[in-house]
Amino acid sequence: MKEARFWESAGEAKVRCRLCPHECLINPGKVGICGQRENDGGHLFSRIYARITAAALDPIEKKPLYHFMPGTGVLSLGSVGCNFRCSFCQNWSISQNEAPTEELLPEAAVGLALRKRAAGIAFTYNEPMIGLEYVIDTARLARAKGLANVLVTNGFVNEAPLAEALPLIDAMNVDVKSFEEDFYKKLCGGRLAPVLARCEQARAAGVHLEITYLVIPGHNDRSALYEGLARWIAEKLGPETPLHLSAHFPRYRLQAPATTPSTLMSAQMAAGRLLKHVYVGNVSGPGGDNHTPCAGCGAVLVERRGYDVKPAGLGPDGRCLKCGAAGPIIVKPKWKT
Ligand code: SF4
Ligand code: SF4
């Protein structure tokens, strides 16, 4: 265990964790809602520092990030636990269970990423921000070795902890699970408003940001929700922010049917009226191709068929090879340019 950050004593050996908006009051010997921050003798500790359930070299598109270093691989690290209880969790075996872990200290994680010739490290699979101490220590070493840092998060974290991590993070994907509070309350055990605020915070800090929305039939698949989310993204994050609409498959406790390609296409059309880049994911067949065109001449910059990615239209500076227009793809972290 490692002593945690962002907590304070609350009297009688209790502690108040300030890492996420749950702000758990934790009795001695107990853990917070995430199950991984423990009050030991009136001090708060992280139980998951350097405790890893998965370390895999994934295409960066799998995070998903489509506009950041396309075609590269990132060493993806997962631990255990989550501060949400999503009844549709696709990773419930590690987010809601005490899965077995192995130690991977920050130095070893960076060494592994370099040996695997990864372009960066992604903190992902379970909710990484409940293990903020490990994210910060590992990301700092990774940056020093020339690696990019990617955060895949539910965004349910307080402002101050995120502010500490952001200078080390190059790109983020935030899961926005619905565009109504009721869904967060009933299906996730969380709240939407702090998630939206953290997205704005990341954008203001200049971190590359993409949003994912898992479309669950009968629960968050109304066009008013897609439109509300797309309008909010356009106004607060910018219409160039990529939105990934992802297909749901029945997992864990929620037995909603799988999302059909036609439902995803309708969502893509609704959101695409307000946003420039709306992709569909977790689906094959028509609508499963997600190319990125040049805003200047329309040439294909990045061709994607599933995880087969060809950034053949992009120059080394990220400009269109055909017309020379800049954007919207970032080919390397800002600190490398
Ligand atoms: S990080 Fe965990 S312990 Fe801390 S407030 Fe959030 S759920 Fe509670
Ligand atoms: S936030 Fe993600 S990892 Fe956590 S319970 Fe929900 S879907 Fe699972």
Residue from 19, 40, 47, 191 to probe ligand 1 pocket by mutation (most atoms less than 8 Å from CB): 19
Q: What is the pLDDT of residue 337?
A: 73
Mean pLDDT of 189-201: 98
Q: Is the pLDDT of residue 286 over 60?
A: no
Q: Is the pTM of this model over 0.75?
A: yes
Closest residue (by CA) to atom 6 of ligand 2?
A: 86
83 lines ligand 1 (CB under 6 A): yes
Measuring from atom 4 of ligand 1, which residue has the nearest CA?
A: 17
DSSP state of 23: -
Residue 284 confidence (pLDDT) above 90: no
Nearest to 214 by CA among 101, 61, 324, 89: 89
- Can you tell me the mean pLDDT for 300-326? 92
Of 63-77, 225-239, 251-265, the least confident: 251-265
Percent of the chain with pLDDT over 90: 91
Using DSSP, state whether 4 is helix, strand or coil.
coil
Q: How far is CA 288 from CA 150, 155, 272, 280, in A?
A: 24, 27, 16, 6
Binned at pLDDT 50, 70 and 90, residue 177 comes out as: very high
Q: Distance from the CA of 23 to the center of ligand 1, in angstroms?
A: 6
Of 193-207, 244-258, 266-280, minimum mean pLDDT range: 244-258
The pLDDT assigned to 301 comes to 96
Confidence (pLDDT) at 287 = 52
Cα 277 to averaged position of ligand 1 atoms, centre (Å) = 34
- Angstrom distance (rounded) from CA 297 to CA 182: 43
| The pLDDT of residue 18 | 98
CA 91 to ligand 2: nearest atom: 8
Mutate to test the pocket of ligand 2, among 79, 84, 126 (most ligand atoms within 8 A of CB): 84
The one-letter amino acid code at 157 reads V
Average pLDDT over residues 200-215: 97
Establish whether residue 86 lines the binding site of ligand 2, counting it when its CB lies within 6 angstroms of any ligand atom. Answer: yes
Q: Is 36 in the pocket of ligand 2 (CB under 6 A)?
A: no
Of 2-11, 136-145, 198-207, 274-283, least confident by mean pLDDT is 274-283
Q: Which residue has the higher pLDDT, 193 or 334?
A: 193
Question: Rounded CA gap, 306 and 309, in Å?
Answer: 8
Q: Which of 69, 22, 79, 75 is nearest to 48 (CA)?
A: 79
Q: What is the CATH number of domain 51-336?
A: 3.20.20.70
Ligand 2, atom 8, lies closest to the CA of: 89
Q: Which ligand is nearest to the CA of 216?
A: 2
pLDDT of amino acid 282: 82
Measuring from atom 7 of ligand 2, which residue has the nearest CA? 89
User: 112 near 135, Cβ under 8 Å?
Assistant: no
pLDDT value, residue 295: 87
104-118, 127-141, 252-266: the lowest-pLDDT one: 252-266
- Report how many helices (DSSP H) and strands (DSSP E) the chain contains, helices first: 8, 19
Q: Kindly state if the Cβ of 91 falls inside 6 Å of ligand 2.
A: yes
Sequence spans of domains, the chain? 2-46, 51-336
CA pair distance 157, 23, nearest whole angstrom? 10
Backbone angles phi, psi at 62, to 5 degrees: -80, -10
**pLDDT (mean) for 325-335:** 91
Rounded to an integer, what distance in angstroms lies between the CA atom of residue 197 and that of residue 190?
14
Q: Residue 89: CB within 6 Å of ligand 2?
A: yes
Of 86-90, 202-206, 248-252, least confident by mean pLDDT is 248-252
* Average pLDDT estimate for 57-73: 96
- Rounded percentage of the chain residues whose pLDDT exceeds 70: 98
* pLDDT tens per residue across span 67-107: 999 999 999 999 999 999 999 999 999 999 889 999 999 99
pLDDT value at 336 more than 90: no
For the chain, where are the E strands, in sequence order? 2-3, 7-9, 15-17, 25-26, 37-40, 43-46, 51-52, 54-59, 73-78, 102-103, 120-123, 148-153, 171-175, 208-215, 243-247, 278-281, 292-293, 300-305, 308-310
Q: What angle do CA 5, 10, 14 make, to 5 degrees?
A: 85
Q: What is the average pLDDT score of the chain?
A: 95
